[in-house]
Amino acid sequence: MTPVETGRFPPSTPDRGLSKAPVISSEHLEAQVPDLAFYLHRTGERVIHVSHIPVVIPTQPLSLTDTILTLTRVDDKKDIGRNGIVNTALAVGEQRNYHDLLLFENAEFGRDALLFAKKLLPQHPRLMRTTLVRLAELQGTRFDPLRDEEPGEIFHEYRGPNTPVFGSPSPYYGASDTTISYINGIIAYIRQEGRDILHDAFIGRDGRMRTMEDSLFDAAGWLTRRMNRNPQGLIEFQKTTADGIDNQVWKDSADSYFHKDGALANHDGGVSSIELQVDAYNALMGFIDLYPEHNNAFTRNRLQQIAQNVEDLWIEDERGGFFALGTDRDAEGRVQRLDILTSNTGYVLKSPLLHNDTNPNVVSKREALIQTLFGPSLFSVAGIRTLAVEELRYTPDAYHNGKVWPQDVSEIAEGLDTHGYYGLANELRRRIVADMDESRLFPENFRGNHDARPTISNRIVDVVTPEGKEKRLEQPPQPILAMAVGAAFEATESLRQVEEGSKPAFAEDPAKRKFEEKILASLPA
């Protein structure tokens, strides 16, 4: 999700009110947000707008099942997936009176749909199947700079054929992670349900009849081309339309990719993200499992490149042991690390790259990473912050630079499960469930502060950068976001299995169990 400064306002209501509001001095506005004084001093940004939206908490918690049925537009659980791709977000009751709580309704987002379908896959595979087919129908077929479109690419956002997105015709394709998630979604579905989906036929955007296997190979071709663009084999993103998204990954705020000194990533060249590399590694591994004939020297070299690129992002310093956010390039095209500590580092746990319990160096690195994730810089009562508190652009209500996102926490829990740290994974799931119970909603995100209870923000803060660019620093969460609902569903189902005894409550390996117990004892209640 992108905060509104990048152009997410539906075209029918494009005005934030900034141009019509009375002119108020920055000093007066900044007096209304004294908690941002340190942030504003560090970044040189000036406040140009402050307002609040009342947080309307339902008298009773929303039903998880009913919310899923509403999002998927069915009346019975057995029909989940019948109507295809999930609604991205909802607002209910008095929330519908506020435009800023309706930003993502009536829009399809490839990333959100895939994440939601993944969380429901074990119980509702039909949803993943119909989601994948819908994404295939709108898969990129040509190189179109205006849409950031490439052949084989899965769209980022679609608001209907006559509704532009970021000044471009819809669908808009500027999200590099979505295509890789699509490949991994097909692989996950096949592992559970079999290969029949590959024979499903659909009509693509170019009017041609195709199969899902054709679509999978097109997506794999997109990934190969991305890796071929640079000698390092990095999966990078760079927009091709002036009004497009700079950071074409899930943390797509304009200021979410930056260096330790606060300087924004250089988007004149390619930018990469740690989780793109990790998910690409998983996609290639899954692809050669499906098609062993592609397990050749070329693919193995690509896997080795990705593994080395991830290794090159490892950092150990006063902040702990972790993987840097990603890379950008200097004016001469040389790769530079973005040496900041973010939740993205936890996504490495979702891959086999740290799978080696007999190698002391690998175990040491893995444990250092986990300790950093659960340390005070990243961990809060609501879960894992998107950005560590020491980083220059951190503020607890920044969209991707401080808040806690349930689906982000859920992805890290998945990685901990992969490595057998079930107690830590379940602790994160309990936090997700507690967040939803406390809010009585399924909000997009929670404040990444130091409060004793999870809270959601109600403040809108717009700033202008030293370069004169307006951006939204803070905004309230969407009250019901499909990705958050998916995270809550997965957490609830997993904890139910723990209660039933069909899933471990804690690590079964004695060394891992001891490691878990030490971390769990240190966490805030």
Give pLDDT tens digits for 298-339: 999 999 999 999 999 999 999 999 999 999 999 999 999 999
**pLDDT, position 16:** 34
**How many residues in total does the chain contain?**
525
Element (H, E) at 187: helix 176-193
DSSP state of 201: E
DSSP assignment string, 79-143: GTTTT-SPP-EE--GGGGG-GGG-TTTT-EEHHHHHHHHHHHTTT-HHHHHHHHHHHHHT---S-
Distance CA 133, CA 253 (A): 29
Q: Report which of 312, 232, 310 is spatially closest to residue 270, judged by C-alpha positions.
A: 232
**pLDDT, position 57:** 85
In 381-466, the DSSP E strands lie at: 383-384, 459-464
Q: What is the mean pLDDT of the chain?
A: 94
**pLDDT, position 480:** 97
Give pLDDT tens digits for 454-492: 999 999 999 999 999 999 999 999 999 999 999 999 999
Average pLDDT score over residue span 214-236: 97
**pLDDT, position 22:** 55
The pLDDT-based confidence of 163 (bands split at 50, 70, 90) is confident
Would the pLDDT of 10 be above 80?
A: no
Would the pLDDT of 397 be above 60?
A: yes
DSSP state of 32: T
At residue 339, what is the residue type? D
- CB-based contacts of 262: which residues, under 8 Å, 6+ apart? 42, 43, 392, 393
Would the pLDDT of 442 be above 90?
A: yes
The answer to whether the beta carbons of residues 165 and 178 sit under 8 Å apart is: no
Would the pLDDT of 504 be above 80?
A: yes
Distance CA 445, CA 433 (A): 13
* Cα torsion through 171, 175, 177, 181, rounded to 10: -10
DSSP state of 70: H
The pLDDT-based confidence of 179 (bands split at 50, 70, 90) is very high
Q: How do strand 314-317 and strand 320-323 relate by DSSP bridges?
A: antiparallel
Average pLDDT score over residue span 140-158: 97
Greater confidence (393 vs 164) lies with 393
Structural domains of the chain, with CATH: 1-63+374-525 (no CATH), 107-254+264-353 (1.50.10.10)
Distance CA 430, CA 507 (A): 16
**pLDDT, position 4:** 53
**Which of 6-10, 101-105, 438-442 shows the lowest per-residue confidence on average (mean pLDDT)?**
6-10
- CB-based contacts of 218: which residues, under 8 Å, 6+ apart? 139, 151, 152
- CB-based contacts of 111: which residues, under 8 Å, 6+ apart? 156, 175, 177, 178, 181, 250
